[in-house]
Amino acid sequence: MDFGIAGKKAIVLGASRGLGAAIGRALAEEGVNVLAVSRSGAMPAVSENGAGRGAITARAIDLSDPDAVDAFAAEQKERADVDILINNSGGPKPGPARDQPRSEWMYAFGGMACPFFTVTDAVLDGMTKRNWGRIVTVGSSGIVQPIPNLALSNAIRSAIAGWSKTLAAEVAPFGVTVNMLLPGRIDTDRLRELDQAAAQRTGTSVEEVARASRARIPAGRYGNPEEFGAAAVFLSSQQAAYITGSKIPVDGGLIAGQ
């Protein structure tokens, strides 16, 4: 299928590894030119560039540094040439809702939600002028069904969901769609770190944590990042023009209800 996005320009935040890297690769496969942002500035691993593929360039920006985010946003506002923005970054620390210090809430909101808001605002001028744009934000199944001991993630991503839905209605008349993808359990560094932390907390092995976790997923397995990247490509496509304000799980059926 031709997704109608070859030659477009995308920014993928949090793109050196995991879900962001898979999205960057998948967009480039469709001929999109991708700017991959991360703290390290490492390139998402790609196989040799084939004919018709878009270019991937990488840039080192720490999204938890407001000055760096503001400078990047000002540059993008001036260029006004981004067609697709993927809002993604590292996840916050695990922990309960009770007794989280105010500093942790502020740090997690400032590092995860605020950069998405700022960079999105910066690219919207160009998108609305051209009457075409795609904003895709990576959330979590925890927005629909809170995940125990991930209070910062559950709460802050729910705030991001409120922002995404509100923005979707504001920019729909200008040909810009705004959606969220909700990963369930996709096999990345982050998932392995969380399984490791759960094993330490509960005094079991990582294998036992992963086995119990897979048993709760109707598909019976963790997802792979390529499956997640494919969903992001579809939401970024020409064909997805009438999908906006949505939260789409990529979770093997994990979310019970909805």
> Which residues of the shown chain bind ligand NAP in the complex (CB under 6 A)?
14-20, 38-40, 42, 62-64, 88-91, 111, 138, 140, 183, 185-186, 188-191
CB of 13 to ligand NAP, least distance (A): 6
Task: State CA 101 to chain mean position distance.
Answer: 26
Please say which residue, 171 or 182, places its beta carbon nearer to ligand NAP: 182
| HEC profile of the chain | CCCCCCCCEEEEECCCCHHHHHHHHHHHHCCCEEEEEECCCCCCCCCCCCCCCCCEEEEECCCCCHHHHHHHHHHHHHHCCCCEEEECCCCCCCECCCCCCHHHHHHHHHHHHHHHHHHHHHHHHHHHHHCCEEEEEECCHHHCCCCCCEHHHHHHHHHHHHHHHHHHHHHHHHCEEEEEEEECCECCHHHHHHHHHHHHHHCCCHHHHHHHHHHCCCCCCCECHHHHHHHHHHHHCCCCCCCCCCEEEECCCCCCCC
Please say which residue, 138 or 235, places its beta carbon nearer to ligand NAP: 138
CB of 183 to ligand NAP, least distance (A): 4
CB of 4 to ligand NAP, least distance (A): 26
Please say which residue, 87 or 237, places its beta carbon nearer to ligand NAP: 87
Please say which residue, 144 or 171, places its beta carbon nearer to ligand NAP: 144
Please say which residue, 111 or 133, places its beta carbon nearer to ligand NAP: 111
CB of 15 to ligand NAP, least distance (A): 6
CB of 83 to ligand NAP, least distance (A): 21
Separation between Cα atoms, residue 221 and residue 182, nearest integer Å: 16
CB of 82 to ligand NAP, least distance (A): 17
Separation between Cα atoms, residue 91 and residue 94, nearest integer Å: 9
Please say which residue, 172 or 197, places its beta carbon nearer to ligand NAP: 197
CB of 217 to ligand NAP, least distance (A): 11
Please say which residue, 124 or 191, places its beta carbon nearer to ligand NAP: 191
